[in-house]
Chain A
């Protein structure tokens, strides 16, 4: 009797255990959430690694470009001492801040913070969008100024030579026309250079995109460069003309002496 009672109780317990929904709930539904969480974590970790690698590369490109810009500013001959100091300081600050940003990005553990830090490579610095075009334009303006000085000095000496030939009754009309063109092109190149410098000197990351200003300044640099090329060609033609005139004069005087 006792054995029968215990057997029935065991069967009922077993059936109850099998049919109990709580058991199903525990055994069937506990595994998937754990798996999903783990998968999500793995994906997030992979994404963070990828973002860090790409961000580090972008920072490295910018650090290289900024160091080149620093050397370029240091070599500028006509950039004012104040502007030289200002740009050097800005580049050094950007290099220091970008180096700090790289360290922060490498140690970020939160995806949202990492994304914000990575985006700040563009939004806070605008190295390629504003700063480097600005520095290269100022470098171009610097070269234009030095070249204009050079050509002005040549022009003044050519003028003296032309006047000397004129005093010896040589026809210098063509040479004078070339000299006038050389001078006006040199002066215009200075005007273009100064206008371009005025446009870009005060640009900052806050002025992004500033594409129209940059395009406008670029166009002025192109015009000024062409002016200088023309002025140099004028100078070469004048020099050639002077050589011919002086050779003719020398031949004439030799012929006269032989008569």
Chain B
């Protein structure tokens, strides 16, 4: 009777250990799969273009590695981003005028 009781105790302990090990395996596997899923989700939107300027520009915006949400694909969001690009291009035209006026600046010699 005593022997049977010890046997049952040992069996209980062994089962508990097996359950704990299985739980740990599931947690580790879950974490691995979650991490893998995140990486592929972040990388997907930008596969079409290689950001060639990032190598020499440590301060380049991180938009390339940020996951897009569903609303980012909407007409309004895309239209808005294209409008922003238009504003940037207007600023670029202003900067180009600055370059041209600077390059054409007359040098006035004060000693003449």
Contact = CB atoms under 8 A, between A and B. Distances in A.
B44 to A, nearest CB: 8
Main secondary structure of the interface of B (DSSP, over half): helix
B17 interface: no
Contacts of A88: none
Interface string B78-109: 11011011101101110110111011010111
Given A58-B110, A80-B57, A122-B107, A186 B89 contact: no
B48 A183 contact: yes
A55 B88 contact: no
B58 A58 contact: no
Contacts of A187: 49-50, 52
Contacts, number: 159
Q: Which of A146, A153, A222, A239 has the most CB of B within 10 A?
A: A153
A153 B109 contact: no
Interface string B52-70: 1100111111011000100
B60 A239 contact: no
Contacts of A170: none
A155 B48 contact: yes
A239 B80 CA distance: 11
A133 B103 contact: yes
Given A122-B109, A187-B49, A77 B59 contact: yes
Q: Which of A78, A193, A228 has the most CB of B within 10 A?
A: A78
Given A58-B110, A77-B59, A232-B82, A193 B72 contact: no
Interface of A: 51, 54-55, 57-58, 77-81, 115, 118-119, 121-122, 128-129, 132-133, 136-137, 139-140, 143-161, 183, 186-187, 190-191, 193-194, 197, 214, 218, 221-222, 225, 228-229, 232, 235-236, 239, 242-243
Interface of B: 45-53, 56-61, 63-64, 68, 72-73, 75, 77-79, 81-82, 84-86, 88-89, 91-93, 95-96, 98-100, 102-103, 105, 107-111
